[in-house]
Structure 1
């Protein structure tokens, strides 16, 4: 069970959530779904680079300078520097996308993802909120907001996302990474911030 929980934690890692969110936006059937495949590839690459590759590449350096004790970052304080620098990379990705002239929907999604991350930085100073649940909660909120804003039937995706959220929450609790309060708070924070911003 512990191995399965670790696999789930990797599959639904918060650094993968922005890329998954972009994929679901492209699949939703809005105007951005009709962008050329070349344009989509560039967006995918920019988002994945700025929200996953660059933040991950910094971890060995933080470990070398003893700013984190391990790559698991088990305490709230240990997560402060990685999350802060991840926020800088997120902003870089957002700025690049804006410079490319991407549709407002995609730019707004990246901006609100950055906002959720910055809120997490502030909370992390005092409390170890679940970043996994902020991530998947944000994607769930984005899909629900898209469905309401554009009148789309995304019930299938929402069922899958709520199922994935429950599995991820269970995995984080089983690993002892968080308390139930930290898991619930993470999901609600991610969901509410992204849902409210995308719906507007």
Structure 2
């Protein structure tokens, strides 16, 4: 039962869903008026580009034997998926969330791009950083920033995200997917770009 729960945590809080969670969190908290049709268009675009497209590309890579499992256990397996993810994120920044529309989400995804690029560089040097921790801590920092930006109480969200972050780290350790050092490296890689970019929009 314990193994099932910890494995489920890794899938439920998979890094592939974190960009969408960031977008949904922003639209649920922002006091700015944004037309409903614009919100729906942005969310649909993010779902297609950050979830559906990567899943389809994963199965393509698996079919041609460029990846073995969705866990991407080796640094070599990570290179192509990370590169593809960086290209997709860049496309989002150019076509879906340009800086002159929703500045907060633009810098959120710019932070994601920097984290992805950093993870790619690390993989090139055969160093693994936990992508799960990158995703969770990147969203965590963005959520805190939104609370500060709009002066809203998100204590519940912060408490929940602390629990989720701990659960994800525990899950990855229990499954022997990462070492403590790789988890800390992932935390730093996800957290820092979001923190640095606060200077440009907070």
The two structures have a TM-score, normalised by structure 2, of 0.90
CA drift of 1:173 comes to 0.7
Asked if 1 retains the 8 angstrom alpha-carbon contact of 2:30 and 2:150, the reply is no
CA drift of 1:101 comes to 5.7
Q: Which residue of structure 2 lines up, in the alignment, with residue 119 of structure 1?
A: 118
Flag structure 1 segments of 5+ consecutive residues without an equivalent.
Answer: none
1:25 corresponds to 2:23? no
**Deviation digits for residues 69-106 of structure 1, max 9, x if unmatched?**
23332112111111111111121122221469632122
Q: Which residue of structure 2 lines up, in the alignment, with residue 105 of structure 1?
A: 104
Flag structure 2 segments of 5+ consecutive residues without an equivalent.
Answer: none
Asked if 1 retains the 8 angstrom alpha-carbon contact of 2:97 and 2:105, the reply is no
Q: Which residue of structure 2 lines up, in the alignment, with residue 155 of structure 1?
A: 155
CA drift of 1:196 comes to 2.3
Asked if 2 retains the 8 angstrom alpha-carbon contact of 1:146 and 1:198, the reply is no
Q: How does 1:1-200 map to 2 (within 5 A)?
A: 1-31=2-32, 34-98=33-97, 102-125=101-124, 126-200=126-200
Asked if 1 retains the 8 angstrom alpha-carbon contact of 2:99 and 2:106, the reply is no
What CA distance in whole angstroms lies between the structure 1 residues aligned with 2:57 and 2:49?
Answer: 12
Deviates more, 1:161-170 or 1:147-156: 147-156
What CA distance in whole angstroms lies between the structure 2 residues aligned with 1:138 and 1:99?
Answer: 20
Cα gap change, 1:10/1:199 in structure 2, threshold over 3 Å: closer, same or farther? farther
Cα gap change, 1:99/1:129 in structure 2, threshold over 3 Å: closer, same or farther? closer
Cα gap change, 1:66/1:116 in structure 2, threshold over 3 Å: closer, same or farther? same
Asked if 2 retains the 8 angstrom alpha-carbon contact of 1:6 and 1:171, the reply is yes
What CA distance in whole angstroms lies between the structure 1 residues aligned with 2:57 and 2:84?
Answer: 8
What CA distance in whole angstroms lies between the structure 2 residues aligned with 1:161 and 1:135?
Answer: 12
What CA distance in whole angstroms lies between the structure 1 residues aligned with 2:62 and 2:9?
Answer: 24
Q: What is the alpha-carbon root mean square deviation over aligned residues?
A: 1.8
Cα gap change, 1:198/1:97 in structure 2, threshold over 3 Å: closer, same or farther? farther
Q: Secondary structure at the match of 2:10?
A: helix
What CA distance in whole angstroms lies between the structure 2 residues aligned with 1:198 and 1:51?
Answer: 23
